[in-house]
Chain A
Amino acid sequence: MSLYQLQKFLYELNRDSGVQRRYQADLEELLEEYDLSDEEAGALRDGDVGLLYVLGVNGQILMHYAAFLGIEWFDYLQMMRTGIEKHGAVRDGIYAMTGGGESFTAEETNR
């Protein structure tokens, strides 16, 4: 149930400019409206994309959140890999990493 609440927070943040303004103005007040674990709330406070990925947030929701935070594409990919190194495999959802964290694009490898 908690992952549902975590994803709902991000879903509403991603699509609603009013929620985005509240996020900027008072994140703590916004967080109180969702039934989140301490780990989940902490990941949102820190903008910890790697931990959110491991917690099982749907990749589409996570990708849009990373864009909202202004995270560049290759940095976003690396943050997920770092999250796995730090916290272990993805715990839930359908967006688990299938390989060993290698890059699948020459553009990332060559940068």
Chain B
Amino acid sequence: MSLVYAGVCSHAPGITGRANLVENTALRDEFYEHLEAMRTDIADAGAEALVVIAAEHFANFFMNNMPAYCIGMSDKYYGPIEDPQWLGIEKRDIPGNADLSRRLTIEVMNTIDVAYAEEWKFDHGIMVPLNFLTPNYDMPIVPVNINCQGPPLTPLPRAWKFGEALRRACDSVDEKIALVATGGISHWPATPDSGKINEPWDRDFLDRLMRHDKAALLDYDDVQTYADAGQGGFEIRTFIAAAAAAGVPGTLQFYTAELPIFAVGCTVAKFDL
């Protein structure tokens, strides 16, 4: 069993970029403390590499050649693509492990036609979580992307199977692997509605996720998700893949809809491996 940790957290750019605009600083800091607890959980699990399942936002992939799934396969990545002052994170190199990525990819390919990328520029979808989880950038990262931006999007049952494939891949290598999926639940980011959150929808989704209720998690359709949870709701694919990879129920450690300046219901949860 090489998967030693699995969890999910939010990745919205405001979490770092708009930290200084927050009025409820106590709640903001409580959220940050839970991200710090996720960091220590990953370290305490003895993780030697961190797989980040993200929903990237046109930092690498465009509609000229859009993979449903992709795994990074490099010894070095770069990010963020965004203006560093805007995101609150400086541009820098981030360590990878091409050999580990290659072994993971080969195993995933047994069941999923995953793309791979030997170069990858991180955007906020990975940089914001890393800012908290590997602040010294001393752990190799394996970036994984699920297309949640450019429809047609991969069906949820396929995202589940992708998560299962990732689990088999993690269990096939000797290294101890941590896996974190990043994304949002309901949100309308980068629109005038930024800050709008459907808290009941979020809590219902998180309940399904933490119960490891596969049937309920795969019961969403994109038309209804778009209506209830916005285009940001399409990112549930990353959380669903993480649940499939974990294969067990989880514990919701933090959720609040009361930091709308971050444009997402801020979430930290781990699966009970």
Chief secondary structure at chain A's binding surface? helix
What is the chain B residue whose CB lies nearest that of A80? B192
Band of interface residues on A: 35 or more
| Inter-subunit contact A60/B192 (CB<8 Å) | no
Provide the bound-state CA to CA distance between A57 and B87, in Å. Answer: 21
A-B contact count (CB 8 A): 98
Provide the bound-state CA to CA distance between A8 and B57, in Å. Answer: 13
Band of interface residues on B: 35 or more
Beyond A58-B149, A60-B149, whether A73 also contacts B193 by CB under 8 A is no
| Inter-subunit contact A84/B23 (CB<8 Å) | no
| Inter-subunit contact A110/B63 (CB<8 Å) | no
Q: Contact string, B185-220, partner A, CB cutoff 8 A, digits 1/0?
A: 000111111111100000000000000000000000
Provide the bound-state CA to CA distance between A110 and B261, in Å. Answer: 12
Provide the bound-state CA to CA distance between A98 and B62, in Å. Answer: 25
| Inter-subunit contact A80/B57 (CB<8 Å) | no
What is the chain B residue whose CB lies nearest that of A93? B231
The answer to the question of A34 belonging to the interface, with a C-beta cut-off of 8 Å to chain B, is no
| Inter-subunit contact A64/B81 (CB<8 Å) | yes
The answer to the question of A97 belonging to the interface, with a C-beta cut-off of 8 Å to chain B, is yes
What is the chain A residue whose CB lies nearest that of B197? A104
Across the interface, which residues of A come within 8 angstroms of B14, CB to CB? 73
Task: Spell out B's residues near A (CB within 8 Å).
Answer: 13-14, 17-18, 21-23, 57-60, 62-64, 81-83, 86-87, 121, 123, 149-151, 188-197, 226, 230-231, 260-261
Apart from A15-B81, A61-B58, list 19 A-B contacts with CB within 8 A. Answer: A7-B63, A8-B63, A11-B62, A58-B150, A59-B231, A63-B190, A67-B82, A67-B86, A73-B14, A84-B192, A97-B192, A98-B191, A98-B230, A99-B193, A104-B197, A105-B261, A106-B260, A106-B261, A107-B23
